[in-house]
Amino acid sequence: MIKVSGLTKDYGARRALDKLSFDAQQGEIVGFLGPNGAGKTTTMRILTGYMPPTDGTAIVAGYDVVEESIEVRKRVGYLPETVPLYTDMAVFDYLKFMGELRHIPNVDDRVDEVLEMVGLLERADGYIGNLSKGMRQRVGLAQALLHRPEVLILDEPTIGLDPGQVVEVRELIREIGKERTVLLSTHILNEAQNICDRVLIINKGKIITEDTTENLQARLIGGERVMLRVRGESDELAATLKQIKGVQSVEIQEEGAVEFSFASGKDMRPEVAKQVIKAGYDLLELRPVGMSLEEIFLELTGADNKK
Amino acid sequence: MRNIWTIAKREYDNYFNSTLAYVVAFAVLFMLGIYFALIMYVTSQQAFMGGGGAAPESTPLNWLFVFLMIFLSPALTMRLISDEARMGTLELMLTAPIRDFELVAGKWLGSLLFVLSLALLTLVYPLILNNYVTPGIDWMVVLSSYIGLVLVCSALLALGTGISAIFSNQFVAFFATLGLFFFLWFMVSLPAGYLQEGGNVLNYLSISTHFSQSMNTGTIGLGDIVYYLSLTALGLFAGTSAVEIRRWR
């Protein structure tokens, strides 16, 4: 559904995108993860036909974004990062206007339908200017969904929403992602982990890595990681653990808490528990911790480790 | 065409939400009303004194309408595209399945429809006048005058829309448009009187001569129509190019 190859974009002397290549299939939710200025928005703007690339090609829904821009735009729903809306229009009128530009038949009914989907039906007659940020975000989402697009491109779709709405919007995206292609950008790692089938990590205009969320974790850890909490001194506990064969990379987290890892397939937890109790500690907690995307991300982008 | 109409309709409706548009409408109708009252008053005074002055005409009102548009139409067009660029909503328009030309033409048409609504209201003046003048006013002159008015406004609003696409600040767009209209109305033909030859070319370029000296007196020349339609096309073309350039930045 989306096929990008060698996409390059220069803003004057600054290279925003550097030979970016990736693709996304139908029924797939792909997350675009990267720090600010990584090139997420630029990529999305090229894919939606807003701006042409300096070099490279992008095929969206079977059409070239430069040569057949209008055809691409007919098939793409786009929620820009800043959620631009006509604040002096009523919600319903705005969506109807956008629907008319897209030649949607029975546009009134369809507008009611999407308003129901995003939970804004009772605010249909209110002015967009009077809506909260979260509601505007949902109006923007409604606009992107209006024409049942084959490809949905969402730039930071949950930013500014309260936690309850975040859950709702993620649910909605997951639902849409079952049949359509969704490309969303985020810098909330937890979000990418939660809704995306696949994550592209991008930094300085280049894709650093591309994989499913599960694979990414496994690939980076190369084993399993466990958190151990006891009543007592961390330093001594760490020393005790280091003596157990098979335990690797012991790290003190806080007073009485230590993280360690072991090669996957060889569960060290029973052995560790035995040894810890034998050493006279009160065992409080022993649980596996996955490496968070945040850590993966920091490691891949080469940013300073937070610890 | 359908997209142009959709955008024009929204823009037209939008004027009725904007204070500025009401101010423009008020200014035009108020001035015209006073001017009309003056014409009626002076004519009746002359008739009362027994002087056989010429029968009053409605065409000076259309001249005033057009003259006011030089100052007021920049206020109607200044925010058309510049404000969308500032608000970021241009991104919505440029990712909707419409051509850049359709966007610009729709904006222009919306503003033209608003001005035409005002012009429609001014039709009451020739209608009233017709009742007081025997054997009635010359409707062909009125028709020619209104065709001229539509053409002038079309050209002014297209140029204004084009300039609005160039700037992201509506006030800069306003003054740039006003400056251009001043130049085209007052200045461009100014040196014509001092030149041995070639003055005709400068006169042809002036936005006022085609209206004041020909269409508003009942003669429509092909040159006049071509002039205004060319300016309209130029404005829309400039606007479309400016939007396309924005995509590349």
Range of the domain at B244: 2-248
Q: Would you state the structure tokens that stand for residue A47, as one six-digit string?
A: 């894919």
pLDDT band at A251 (very low <50, low <70, confident <90, very high): confident
Q: What was the pLDDT predicted at B74?
A: 95
Give backbone dihedrals phi and psi of A271, rounded to 5 degrees, phi first.
-65, -45
- Top-confidence residue, B17 or A190: B17
Range A264-300 burial, b when 16+ CB lie within 10 A, else e = eeeebeeebeebbeeeebeeeeeeeeebebebbbbeb
Residue A304: pLDDT over 80: no
Q: How far apart are CA B162 and CA A96, in angstroms?
A: 27
Q: What was the pLDDT predicted at A293?
A: 60
Query: Is A51 part of the contact surface with chain B (CB cutoff 8 Å)?
Result: yes
Q: What is the mean pLDDT of chain B?
A: 90
Cβ contact, residue pair B97, A85, below 8 Å: no
Residues A67-74 have a mean pLDDT of 94
**Which residues in chain A touch residue B94, judged by CB atoms under 8 angstroms apart?**
49-50
Report the CATH fold assignment for A222-297: Alpha-Beta Plaits (3.30.70)
Cβ contact, residue pair B247, A50, below 8 Å: yes
| pLDDT tens digit sequence for B79-120 | 999 999 999 999 999 999 999 999 999 999 999 999 999 999
Q: What was the pLDDT predicted at A8?
A: 93
Q: What was the pLDDT predicted at A307?
A: 36
**Which residues in chain A touch residue B98, judged by CB atoms under 8 angstroms apart?**
70, 101
Query: Is A52 part of the contact surface with chain B (CB cutoff 8 Å)?
Result: yes
Please tell me which of A143-152, A241-250, B138-147 the model is most confident about, judged by mean pLDDT.
A143-152
Residue of A nearest to B92 (CA): A84
| pLDDT tens digit sequence for B198-223 | 777 787 888 888 888 888 888 888 88
Residue A306: pLDDT over 50: no
pLDDT band at A220 (very low <50, low <70, confident <90, very high): low
- Top-confidence residue, B19 or A194: B19
Residue B51: pLDDT over 70: no
Query: Is A70 part of the contact surface with chain B (CB cutoff 8 Å)?
Result: yes
- Top-confidence residue, A154 or A305: A154
Residue A41: pLDDT over 60: yes
**Which residues in chain A touch residue B7, judged by CB atoms under 8 angstroms apart?**
101
Q: What was the pLDDT predicted at A245?
A: 78
Residue A117: pLDDT over 70: yes
Q: What was the pLDDT predicted at A218?
A: 64
Please state the separation of Cα B244 from the chain's center in Å.
Answer: 26
Rounded to two decimals, the ipTM of the complex is 0.89
Total domains present in chain B: 1
Q: What was the pLDDT predicted at B129?
A: 86
Query: Is A74 part of the contact surface with chain B (CB cutoff 8 Å)?
Result: yes
Residue of A nearest to B15 (CA): A88
**Which residues in chain A touch residue B99, judged by CB atoms under 8 angstroms apart?**
70
Q: What was the pLDDT predicted at A247?
A: 79
Q: What is the DSSP string of A118-164?
A: TT-GGGTTSBGGGS-HHHHHHHHHHHHHTT--SEEEEESTTTT--HH
What element of type H or E holds A183? strand A181-186
Q: Are B119 and B149 in contact (CB under 8 A)?
A: yes
Collapse the DSSP code of B83 into the 3-class scheme (helix H, G, I; strand E, B; otherwise coil) and give the result: helix
Q: What was the pLDDT predicted at A264?
A: 60
Percent of chain A with pLDDT over 70: 90
Q: What was the pLDDT predicted at B229?
A: 95
Q: Are B89 and A80 in contact (CB under 8 A)?
A: no
pLDDT band at B188 (very low <50, low <70, confident <90, very high): confident
Query: Is A3 part of the contact surface with chain B (CB cutoff 8 Å)?
Result: no
| pLDDT tens digit sequence for B190-203 | 777 777 777 777 87
Residue A10: pLDDT over 80: yes
Classify domain A2-217 by CATH architecture. 3-Layer(aba) Sandwich (3.40)
Percent of chain A with pLDDT over 90: 40
Residue A255: pLDDT over 50: yes
Say which residues have a Cβ less than 8 Å from residue A286's Cβ, sequence separation at least 6.
A226, A227, A228, A229, A269, A272, A273
Residue A230: pLDDT over 90: no
Domain ranges of chain A: 2-217, 222-297
Residues A226-250 have a mean pLDDT of 80
Q: What was the pLDDT predicted at A296?
A: 66
Collapse the DSSP code of A178 into the 3-class scheme (helix H, G, I; strand E, B; otherwise coil) and give the result: coil
Q: What was the pLDDT predicted at A291?
A: 61
Please tell me which of A125-129, A240-244, A271-275, B187-191 the model is most confident about, judged by mean pLDDT.
A125-129
From the list B7, B17, B89, the residue facing A84 with the nearest CB is B89
Q: What is the largest CA-CA distance in chain B?
A: 70
Residue A305: pLDDT over 50: no
Range B40-67 burial, b when 16+ CB lie within 10 A, else e = eeebeeeeeeeeeeeebbbbbbbbbbbb
**Residue A71: count of CB within 10 angstroms of its CB:** 17
